[in-house]
Amino acid sequence: MKILWIALLFLFPSVAAAASLEQSYLAARDAQIRKVAAAEKKGADTDRVDKIQEKALAELQKQLAQIIGASKLSVPGIKATPKINIEALSDKDQGFDMLDGLAYASEDYKTRVVVTTEGLLKAWMLRHRKPGDRKMSQDPAQDLAKVLASEEFYTQAVNSDATLSKYAELPIKKPAAASTAYAMYGGWAQDDGPWEPEELVISVIQGGKLYVVRVPASTKLGPFAACQAVWDKADRKANEVYERAPSKPKVVPDTSKIREQGAAAFRRCFAEHAPKEKGFAGLVRQAQTIVDGLPVQ
């Protein structure tokens, strides 16, 4: 296998060069993370650590720009100049170990596009593989498709201060040039409970790159009375558990699991009702237009 890999590198020097640039970037990023950690260990003040991180992120952004290149995006409203997607190099800060890539955004930051390479995506996936997870399947495309359909991926990779919840999957058509394409109607929140979805989250892998697009939904779906009833029932149950807790001494029961299960049931209900709504087709069209307009190379 090693001989075959070496042979492929000679046959496809551009692939070898890209892999080399990616490995150099990953090594540089890890070195910068260690540098920040060392400064924190020595007791450097916050301003000093912030300056170290700011300089390091600027250097890493230059490397990413060389690896990923410029992206001619047709997503309305975004600025032409991207920034590094990673927000922090200290594991004490929000935005640490986000997806290595370049982030384009609109002025109001409501529309965002993160671009990276398949190689950097796979490296990120390996870093975030949980203990006990099975090795990658024989078909790498299956692993990528599974990851891009995961709410957890977007929460960790492209957002630093909220959790993504999927309310409905959007049945888009995969472009001929793409290996994977996925779209959902979702919402971000920091607290328990169902929240109104307001955003389309779209991912496409094509031309050796991953594009993650976040745009405001053109149409609002819901609310659905049946789904609200599901959540209200869970909320009442959680409150009842709290009220029944002994008062002397006051024991505060953990009702988070009840609320999490209720919120999950609410979203399942929403996903069942959403496709029947008149506006659902409009959301699918909105997502498909974005997918079809992403660069092939």
Quick one: 138 and 205 in the same domain? yes
Quick: pLDDT tens for 203-212: 999 999 999 9
Note whether residue 50 is domain-resident: no
- 171 in a domain, yes or no? yes
CA dist list (Å): 253 to 39, 104, 236, 240, 275: 40, 43, 14, 11, 38
167 DSSP 8-state letter: E
Pair 94, 191 in one domain: yes
What confidence score (pLDDT) does residue 138 get?
A: 47
Q: Are residues 123 and 189 in the same domain?
A: yes
Taking Cα atoms as reference points, which of 57, 54, 87 lies closest to residue 160? Answer: 87
Same domain, 234 and 215: no
3-state secondary structure at position 106: strand
Considering the domain architecture, whether residues 137 and 187 belong to the same structural domain is answered as yes
> Do 95 and 235 sit in the same domain of this protein?
no
Residue 19 has a pLDDT of 74
Q: Is residue 151 part of a domain?
A: yes
Residue 15 scores a pLDDT above 80: no
Q: Are residues 142 and 214 in the same domain?
A: yes
Q: Does residue 194 lie in a domain region?
A: yes
List pLDDT tens digits, range 38-81: 999 999 999 999 999 999 999 999 999 999 999 999 999 999 99
pTM, to two decimals: 0.88
pLDDT tens for each residue of 240-296: 988 887 765 666 678 889 999 999 999 999 999 999 999 999 999 999 999 999 998
**In a shared domain, residues 121 and 171:** yes
| Structural domain boundaries enclosing 102 | 68-220+285-292
Higher pLDDT, 143 or 266: 266
Q: Report which DSSP code applies to 275.
A: G
